[in-house]
Amino acid sequence: MFINFVWRSCVEKSKTYNFLLWIIGFILAELWRRLLQDIHIHEFFKWLIGVVIIILIIFIINKVISLLTKVKN
């Protein structure tokens, strides 16, 4: 039931959907930055990798949703 609610809200691409994507992306980027904490890379590159992760996650989620809506129709 909860999955159906999340699925419908994601398909509509509402503000909640966009907010949820940014939260997921931010969490994953922050986890990645923490994994790189002990590695001696400049902070800018850690930040850049985090931004790339956020963009990739949004792109992948949008592709999966578009494929699933094509299959449903």
Nearest-CA neighbor of 18 among 54, 70, 69? 54
Examine the pLDDT at 60 and tell me if it is beyond 50.
Answer: yes
Q: For 8-52, what is each residue's pLDDT tens digit? A: 555 556 777 777 777 887 787 778 778 777 777 787 877 787 778
Task: Look up tokens 């809506």; give the residue.
Answer: 69
| Model pTM score | 0.50
CA dist 71 and 66 (Å) reads: 9
Nearest-CA neighbor of 51 among 14, 18, 22, 12? 22
